[in-house]
């Protein structure tokens, strides 16, 4: 028997979430962000699910961009951190990739692009994130240089909002962006997931949905379903042991949890080597046999423990949802003091990812069994 831990990847949820982007920003074209191996879901799985229904894909990794092109996508593919060295120009040209330019050295790298190549460029401007981007003062000269380059095709200007997901909002950054010299000459790309959902004035010509494509809310204290999204990944396992702990006994490494009464504890085949956060404390939400309960004790490398009080009939083989459908990853992340992005991206390579109709049918059967208990 294979270890029961695996992650279901639901292509229909991906398509649902892209449709939600289209409804929110109906006039904008869409860069679907699939960096970090599509946030841990698999970049080629993303392509299998979304195909040509998105206008473009955006990511960081040159090799992943090449795989997308070789898989058959003919539309634009953007490298969000641009070129790391001039030797990459040949691959960019061979696979017709779009590059971000965010510092002067990348402008010099593009000198290697021959006339007539038609390389499309996204010029990134720093408006307050203070991470990547040309200064507003340097933007005009960079735009002129790129506009005069015989090997450059279209130019689009982008920035990245630091606080679109909180009450501070985008006003200051967006005003600085709109005040750039000659900005009206170029298409704009500024809205991330939070801005897509909250600030329609920022949708402009292109939007860049990231976390919302995976069914996760970009806002604190909100889960994806509350903003019309569906989780793409559901991480599931089963109980591999059940034991009774007496009052006063401890559970797990370090004895950080002490039972205050007799307690049935289930052992789940999932631990920090699988990507579950070791720092998740007692009380982190987990779903067992269709009922919400809590973790107890410290997460181990390959296992974690759960309180079976709400599910007295649970036994070895009972299904468990660590996060996803029925147990939002946002709530697990909140309990662990992190964000859903990190949990999705941290799923370990040893965890099988299962996608397609058969996987969805198997998961639906598990879920229906859970609800009937």
Backbone angles phi, psi at 336, to 5 degrees: -90, 0
Q: Which position among 8, 35, 257, 276 bears the catalytic label?
A: 35
- Catalytic annotation present for 35: yes
> What whole-number distance in Å separates Cα of residue 119 and Cα of residue 155?
9
Radius of gyration of the chain (CA): 23
- Catalytic annotation present for 371: no
CB atoms within 10 A of CB 248: 10
Residue 147's pLDDT is 95
Equal fold, 12-217 vs 233-372: no
Residue 365's pLDDT is 55
> What whole-number distance in Å separates Cα of residue 44 and Cα of residue 310?
39
> What whole-number distance in Å separates Cα of residue 62 and Cα of residue 316?
44
Looking at domain 233-372, its CATH superfamily turns out to be Lyase, Ornithine Decarboxylase; Chain A, domain 1 (2.40.37.10)
Task: Reduce the DSSP state of residue 365 to 3 states and report it.
Answer: helix
Tell me, yes or no, if the pTM score tops 0.85.
yes
Residue 364's pLDDT is 56
Please give the CATH number for the structural domain made up of 12-217.
Answer: 3.20.20.10
Residue 372's pLDDT is 43
Q: Which position among 8, 199, 253, 341 bears the catalytic label?
A: 253
Please state the domain extents for the chain.
12-217, 233-372
Mind listing the pLDDT tens digit for each residue in 120-130? 999 999 999 99
Q: In this model, does residue 73 exceed pLDDT 60?
A: yes
């Amino acid at each position: 028997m294979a270890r029961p831990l695996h992650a279901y990847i639901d292509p229909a949820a991906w398509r649902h979430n892209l449709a939600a982007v289209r409804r929110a920003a109906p006039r904008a074209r869409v860069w679907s962000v699939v960096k970090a191996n599509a946030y841990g879901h698999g970049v080629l799985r993303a392509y299998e699910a979304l195909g040509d229904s998105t206008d473009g894909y955006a990511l960081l990794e040159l090799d992943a961009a090449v795989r997308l092109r070789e898989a058959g996508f003919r539309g634009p593919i953007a490298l969000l951190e641009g070129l790391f060295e001039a030797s990459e120009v040949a691959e960019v040209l061979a696979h017709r990739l779009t590059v971000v330019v965010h510092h002067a050295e990348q402008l010099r790298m593009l000198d290697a692009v021959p006339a007539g190549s038609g390389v499309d460029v996204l010029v990134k401007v720093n408006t307050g994130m203070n991470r990547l981007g040309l200064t507003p003062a340097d933007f005009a000269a960079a735009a002129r240089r790129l506009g005069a380059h015989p090997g450059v095709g279209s130019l689009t200007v982008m920035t990245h909002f630091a606080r679109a997901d909180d009450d501070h909002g985008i006003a200051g950054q967006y005003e600085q962006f709109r005040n750039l010299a000659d900005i009206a000459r170029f298409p704009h790309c500024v809205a991330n997931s939070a801005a897509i959902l909250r600030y329609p004035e920022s949708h402009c010509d292109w939007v860049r949905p990231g976390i919302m494509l995976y069914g996760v809310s970009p806002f604190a204290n909100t889960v994806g379903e509350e903003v019309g999204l569906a989780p793409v990944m559901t991480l599931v396992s089963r109980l591999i042991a059940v034991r009774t702990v007496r009052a006063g006994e401890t559970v797990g490494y370090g004895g950080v949890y002490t039972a205050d009464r007799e307690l049935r504890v289930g052992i789940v085949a999932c631990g920090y080597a699988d990507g579950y956060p070791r720092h998740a404390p007692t009380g982190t939400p987990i779903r067992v046999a269709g009922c919400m309960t809590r973790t107890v004790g410290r997460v181990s490398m390959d296992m974690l423990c759960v309180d079976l009080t709400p599910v007295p009939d649970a036994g070895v083989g009972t299904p468990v949802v660590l996060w996803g459908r029925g147990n939002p990853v946002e709530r697990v992340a909140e309990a662990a003091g992190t964000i859903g992005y990190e949990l999705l991206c941290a799923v370990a390579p040893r965890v099988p990812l299962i996608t397609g109709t058969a996987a969805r049918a198997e998961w639906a059967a598990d879920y229906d069994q859970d609800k009937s208990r």
